[in-house]
Amino acid sequence: MNNKQHKIVISGGGTGGHLFPALAIADALKRIEPTIDILFVGALGKIEMDRVPAAGYKIIGLDIRGLQRKLTIDNLMFPVRLIKSLAKSFSIVNEFKPDVAVGVGGYASGPLLYAASRKDVPTVLQEQNSYPGITNKLLAKRASKICVAYQGMEQFFPADKLMLTGNPVRQDILEIEGKKEEAADFFGLSAQKKTIFLTGGSLGARTLNESILNHLESFRNEEIQLIWQCGKFYYNTLKQQFKEAEFPNVKLMEFVSRVDLAYALADVIVARAGASTISELCLVKKPAVLVPSPNVAEDHQTKNAMALVSKQAAILVKDDVAKTELVDVAIRLINNEEKKQKLAANIATLGLKNSADVIAKEILKLVK
The answer to whether the annotation marks 277 as part of a ligand binding site is no
Whole-angstrom distance between the N-terminal and C-terminal Cα of the chain?
Answer: 8
Known binding residue 16? Answer is yes
Beta-sheet strand order (sheet of 225-229): 250-253, 225-229, 195-199, 268-271, 288-290, 315-316
202 is in an annotated binding site: yes
Q: What angle, rounded to 10 degrees, do the helices at 355-365 and 16-32 form?
A: 60
Residue 310 annotated as binding site: no
Q: Is 17 marked within a binding site?
A: yes
129 is in an annotated binding site: yes
| Residue 147 near residue 362 (C-beta atoms within 8 A) | yes
What is the rounded distance in angstroms from the CA atom of residue 312 to the CA atom of residue 83? 46
Q: What one-character-per-residue DSSP string does 90-155 give?
A: HHHHHHH--SEEEE-SSTTHHHHHHHHHHTT--EEEEE-SSS--HHHHHHGGG-SEEEESSTTGGG
CA distances from 87 to 74, 114, 119, 121, 233 (A): 19, 11, 13, 16, 33
Residue 239 to residue 234: CA distance in whole angstroms: 9
* Strand order across the beta sheet in which 145-148 lies: 58-62, 37-43, 7-11, 100-103, 123-127, 145-148, 162-164
Sign of CA dihedral 207, 209, 210, 216: positive
Cα separation of 327 and 332, whole Å? 9
Alpha-carbon span 295 to 306, nearest angstrom: 17
Q: Round to whole Å and give the CA distance between 15 and 50.
A: 12
CB atoms within 10 A of CB 244: 10
Least Cα distance to 10 among 45, 57, 55, 56 occurs for: 57
The angle formed by the CA atoms of residues 115, 22 and 13, to the nearest 5 degrees, is: 65
Q: What are the binding residues for UDP-N-acetyl-alpha-D-glucosamine? A: 15-17, 129, 170, 202, 301
Annotated binding site: 15-17, 129, 170, 202, 301
